Amino acid sequence: MMYRAVTFSLLLAIWLVFSGIYDAFHIGLGILSCLFVTWISSDLLFDDRSLGFRARLGQAWRLCGYLAWLGWQLVLSNLHLLKLTLKPGAMAEVEPRITLYRTALKSDFEKFLLANSITLTPGTITIKILGDDFYIHSISKFAADGLDGQMEQRIAAIFAPTGPGSSSQAAD
């Protein structure tokens, strides 16, 4: 039950921040929407419910670090696409391709995070996922070479059990 409350609270906080409209009607819609989404997907965010509060805080901290790293990767990818667009003769580097990438990530949320991180990165898009196989379209060899496993390793590190409070223990 605690995990559903946390999921609902996170969703409602995000709703309120992005909505920016704070009348009874819109807040009521936000509450109803968040209740519905919590009901259908609370196990997506917290698949492993044996972790304690301290372990969850560690995951949140590592996720913030990953998002900062991802932001830098987005800048680098944008610069590559800018080069392809503006540099004379750079169109020769445009070689669209579909790459098969096999992941070792196990949970649906980890795979979801990887697929969305790839798709957010300019020049690549996850077009299909079959089990552990990701089919990724990339605009150039450079973009395809960026699928070197570093993103997957960083995502795996977010959810790896480390430190005290990360072993199987009752939820706080």
Query: Mind giving me the DSSP string for 113-165?
Result: HHHHHHHHSTTEEEEEEETTEEEEEEEEHHHHHT-SSHHHHHHHHHHS--STT
Residue 72: its pLDDT value, please?
95
pLDDT at 55: 79
Instruction: Check residue 46 and give its pLDDT.
Output: 58
Among the listed residues 143, 57, 80, 153, the one whose alpha carbon sits nearest the alpha carbon of residue 110? 153
Strand pairing class (133-140; 124-130): antiparallel
pLDDT of residue 141: 87
Name the stretches of the chain with pLDDT < 70. Answer: 1, 42-51, 162-172
pLDDT at 71: 95
The alpha carbon torsion through 122, 123, 128, 131 (nearest 10 deg) reads -80
Q: What pLDDT score does 43 carry?
A: 64
DSSP string, 63-74: HHHHHHHHHHHH
Are 172 and 55 a contacting pair, CB within 8 Å?
no
Instruction: Quote the tokens at residue 150.
Output: 């570093």
Predicted TM-score of the model (pTM):
0.70
Predicted confidence at residue 166, as pLDDT, reads 44
pLDDT at 1: 61
